[in-house]
C-alpha cells in the first residue's frame, strides 16, 4: 500500500477521533513533540519500526520517554492501534499529516518569512493581516534571516509564494539582459 495513503488515512482517523473526544489541542501538542523527537533521533524511529528486535511494550516506553510527560489517553490508544496494525514505520509521516490537518481544521496556517535582515514587526503584522483577510485563518509566521537575499523578503504559505527579494530581481534583470544580447549577436 502507498505510504501517502496510509499516513493520510491514519492521520484523518486520529483527527476525527480527537475531535469527538475533545482532546485535539493536547494530542496535537504531544504528536508534534513525538514527530520532532523522531526527526532529531533517527535511532528512535528505527527502533519503533523494528518488529523483530523491539517488542510493543518497549516501543511504547520509548515513545513515552521521548515525550517527557504523561501521554494523553487518546494518543496512547492511537499508538496501540498503530502497533497492532503494524503501522509504526509510518508514524513520523502520520504525525506530520495529523499536525497539518489539525491546524488546518483549527484555522491555523504556517508560513515562512525569509528576509535579508531581521524583519520589522510591522511587516509581520501586515502579512498576518493579509493571510487573515485572504483565507480567514490565523498565520503563524516563522522568520529566517538570509543575507544572500541582499534585500526584500520571500514569504511562503501553503502553495503560495511571494518573492520580493533583491537577489530575485537581479536574477530577472540578468536573464533579460542575456536574452536581449542573444538577439543582437
Strand order across the 138-145 sheet? 138-145, 108-115, 152-157, 160-165
Q: What is the pLDDT, as a whole number, of residue 113?
A: 96
Q: What is the pLDDT, as a whole number, of residue 2?
A: 79
CA 179: distance to chain centroid? 39
* Helix (H/G/I), strand (E/B), else coil: 110: strand
Residue 54 makes CB contacts below 8 A (sequence gap 6+) with 47, 48, 62
Q: What is the pLDDT, as a whole number, of residue 185?
A: 56
Which pairing describes strands 152-157 and 160-165: parallel, antiparallel, or unpaired? antiparallel
Q: What are phi and psi of 151, to 5 degrees?
A: -170, 170
CA 164: distance to chain centroid? 24
Q: From the first residue on, what is the mean pLDDT of each consecutive set of 10 residues in the chain (185 residues)?
A: 87 96 96 96 93 90 94 97 95 95 93 94 92 92 95 91 93 92 72
User: For residues 94 and 67, what is the distance between their CA atoms, to the nearest angstrom?
Assistant: 16
Instruction: Round to the nearest angstrom and report the end-to-end CA distance of the chain.
Output: 56
How many other CB atoms are found less than 10 A from the CB of residue 124?
16
Q: What is the pLDDT, as a whole number, of residue 4?
A: 86
User: For residues 92 and 135, what is the distance between their CA atoms, to the nearest angstrom?
Assistant: 28
User: Taking the model in full, what pTM does it have?
Assistant: 0.74
Q: What is the pLDDT, as a whole number, of residue 1?
A: 58
Q: Sign of torsion, CA 19 24 27 31?
A: positive
Lookup result for grid cell 503563524 = 140
70, 89, 93, 103, 164 from 21: Cα distances, Å: 18, 26, 23, 17, 44
- What is residue 90's DSSP assignment? G
Amino acid at each position: 500500500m502507498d505510504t501517502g495513503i496510509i499516513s493520510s488515512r491514519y492521520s484523518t482517523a486520529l483527527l476525527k477521533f480527537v475531535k469527538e473526544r475533545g482532546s485535539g489541542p493536547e494530542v496535537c501538542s504531544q504528536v508534534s513533540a513525538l514527530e520532532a523527537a523522531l526527526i532529531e533521533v533517527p535511532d528512535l524511529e528505527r527502533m519503533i519500526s523494528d518488529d523483530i528486535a523491539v517488542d510493543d511494550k518497549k516501543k511504547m516506553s520509548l515513545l513515552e520517554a521521548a515525550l517527557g510527560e504523561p501521554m494523553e489517553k487518546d494518543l496512547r490508544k492511537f499508538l496501540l492501534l498503530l502497533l497492532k496494525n503494524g503501522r509504526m514505520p509510518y508514524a513520523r509521516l502520520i504525525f506530520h499529516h495529523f499536525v497539518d490537518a489539525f491546524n488546518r481544521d483549527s484555522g491555523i496556517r504556517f508560513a515562512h518569512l525569509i528576509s535579508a535582515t531581521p524583519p520589522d514587526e510591522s511587516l509581520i503584522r501586515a502579512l498576518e493581516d493579509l493571510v487573515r483577510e485572504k483565507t480567514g485563518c490565523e498565520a503563524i509566521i516563522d522568520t529566517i534571516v538570509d543575507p544572500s537575499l541582499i534585500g526584500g523578503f520571500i514569504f511562503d504559505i501553503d502553495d503560495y509564494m511571494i518573492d520580493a527579494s533583491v537577489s530575485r530581481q537581479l536574477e530577472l534583470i540578468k536573464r533579460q539582459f542575456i536574452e536581449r544580447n542573444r538577439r543582437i549577436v
